[in-house]
Amino acid sequence: MTYAPPLDEQKFLLRHIVGIDALAAHERFAEATPDLVDAIVDGAGAFAGGTFAPLNRLGDTEGAKWSGAGVTLPAGFRDAYQAYVAGGWNTLSAPAEFGGQGLPLSLATVLMEDLGSANMGFSLVMMLSPGAIEALLHHGSPELQQAWLPKLVSGEWTGTMNLTEPQAGSDVGALKTRADPVGDGSYWIKGQKIFITFGDHDLADNIVHLVLARVPGAPQGTRGISLFLVPKILADGTRNDLRCVSIEHKLGIHAAPTCVMSYGDEDRCVGWLIGDENKGMAAMFTMMNNARLNVGLQGVSIAERASQLAVAYARERVQGAREGRPARIIEHPDVRRMLLRMKALTQAARALTYYAAGRIDRGNLGDAEAKARADLLTPLVKAYGTDVGVEVTSLAVQVHGGMGYVEETGAAQHYRDARISPIYEGTNGIQAADLVGRKLAMDGGGVLRRLLAEMREDSGAEPAIVALIDACGEVAEQLLTADGDDRLAASYPFLTMLATAVAGWLMIRQASSLQADPVPEEFAAMKRGAMRFYLDQIVPEAIGRKASAMAGAAPLYAVSEEAFAA
């Protein structure tokens, strides 16, 4: 089936969860008028559905190809990317001084959702450039910004993040790539990076790599990391000494080349420092936080696509009987349970992601509390959104039955594509560790306490969500004084509890907003049904995680390593 963007849902969330009208009241976002917002939402959906979605199956079956000359994408991909650039889609939320439109991030989030639903693997090239742009905006020198940002903003050039090395994995402090100063402000870069998404391709004329490396004499660990801008093509048009030496053969996202990148093998690979020496971690987290929000959104995107496919199949597939007549499977209770769970999870994760984007927009307007809340929510968005993506795509396979296990239906591709999202840009376990190790302690726990208080005030008529909010508060207070292992042992169940509570609160807000918003009746009915299912069936599951979150680390170490291998 073709992809149909959820336009009513997206506009509803922009109005009632993001608060796009309040953002437009500020001079910075004054261009985000209702007419423009509707035009962008409609246009983004039409572009993604008409240009990217038809390439989704080809991207999976043919995929990116490597040769000694570089990486190529299947026929049609370069044209589609160039249409994306020509349409100005890459510029939505980028700063006007570098060619952007300066619109809210929450509005650009709609576009990224649609691109991910239409063609998840292809959309990764659009997902990475904003992180490079943010790093240069916050940490780059004026000279680097003027030289590289305009074409990154336009999309004429793409950006990457080069963090991981074979011996380091998620431990970036163990990296060995070197950066030797030349004396003219540039550095010679030498080393190898792995798992570099779209590290090479034929979609654009240049690729701007942001590479973590060490300068001579740098301290060990993360204190000795610096960040460098290393372009594929130098300003004079010559080729820099960097290349993709291979691409990975992956479970899914075959349209996204995952590259092994080598720097300085044959000649001098030139790069420029972003920020100060040994201060690369701050710039890295600027990139990563942007990417983490977008990866959480990928979970929403693929869940939406899988849900549409499952609903269409369930409405057509005849199997079994009801009341003495042949029945389509959507009439059977267990199939309805799966479909409603898929819809509820997708809507909840989308609301959480859009809400976080709206908090970022307010933070950019100077609202310190909104910025802190966005920081708190970022690991929730990434982990919960991607967990939802995996669960919903798995349910879509189940709805299809045996046909779901057959590649031609498309359900299997969505499941395979979704499975990477809890892993990259920091595994979901790392997101949970970030939540309990850094975000929970913000303002001595005050940022979370204020969020929980607001949620509790709004949710008084729903006892299940209030019970979950209270459980989150109880676990949080224990974790604020727990030792490291006990905090980490609790981190994942606590993250799931908290994300479910915030998403449930946002589902209540949406249902309340229906009274004042004349939306189509079918839309309103599904919104109310999804909220009821979420509060009655998914929220109680999250309450059940409290015991795990309070158990501490001792049970995890009661089994020896040898016993694990038995």
Per-residue pLDDT at 460 = 81
How far from chain centre, in Å, is Cα 447?
23
> pLDDT by residue (tens digit) across 345-403?
999 999 999 999 999 999 999 999 999 999 999 999 999 999 999 999 999 999 999 99
Active site residues: 425
Domain with CATH 1.10.540.10 in the chain: 7-65+73-154
Phi, psi of 327, deg, nearest 5: -125, 145
> pLDDT by residue (tens digit) across 513-540?
998 888 999 999 999 999 999 999 999 9
Other Cβ atoms less than 10 A from the Cβ of 337: the count is 13
- Please provide the DSSP assignment of 287-351 as one string: HHHHHHHHHHHHHHHHHHHHHHHHHHHHHH-EEEEETTEEEEGGGSHHHHHHHHHHHHHHHHHHH
What does pTM read for this prediction?
Answer: 0.96
State the amino acid at position 423 in one-letter form. Answer: I
Per-residue pLDDT at 405 = 97
Domain with CATH 2.40.110.20 in the chain: 158-281
Per-residue pLDDT at 8 = 96
Per-residue pLDDT at 543 = 98
Per-residue pLDDT at 517 = 87
What is the token pair recorded at 395? 């349910």
Q: How far apart are CA 509 and CA 506, in angstroms?
A: 5
Question: Using CB atoms within 10 A of its CB, is residue 323 exposed (0-12), middle (13-18) or buried (19+)?
Answer: exposed
Of all residues in the chain, the percent with pLDDT exceeding 90 is 94
**For residue 81, which of 68, 103, 64 has the smallest C-alpha distance?**
64
Q: For 425-434, what is the mean pLDDT?
A: 95
Q: For 150-175, what is the mean pLDDT?
A: 90
> What is the CATH number that goes with domain 158-281?
2.40.110.20
Residue 438 has pLDDT above 70, yes or no: yes
Of all residues in the chain, the percent with pLDDT exceeding 70 is 100
Residue 169 has pLDDT above 80, yes or no: no
Per-residue pLDDT at 488 = 98
Query: 422 CB contacts (<8 Å, ≥6 apart)?
Result: 383, 386, 387, 390, 428
> pLDDT by residue (tens digit) across 182-195?
999 999 999 999 99
pLDDT band, very low/low/confident/very high, at 31 (cuts 50, 70, 90): very high
CATH architecture of 7-65+73-154: Orthogonal Bundle (1.10)
Phi, psi of 67, deg, nearest 5: -145, 175
493: left (phi over 0), alpha (psi -120 to 50) or beta: alpha
278 in helix, strand or coil? Answer: coil
Q: How far apart are CA 53 and CA 51, in angstroms?
A: 6
Sign of the C-alpha dihedral computed for residues 49, 55, 60 and 66 taken in this order: negative
Phi, psi of 189, deg, nearest 5: -100, 135
Per-residue pLDDT at 288 = 83
Higher pLDDT, 454 or 281: 454
> pLDDT by residue (tens digit) across 209-234?
999 999 999 999 989 999 999 999 99
What is the token pair recorded at 472? 């989150």
> pLDDT by residue (tens digit) across 241-286?
999 999 999 999 999 999 999 999 988 999 999 999 999 988 888 8
Per-chain mean pLDDT for the chain: 96
Contact between 23 and 358 (Cβ < 8 Å): yes
Per-residue pLDDT at 516 = 84
Residue 1 has pLDDT above 70, yes or no: no
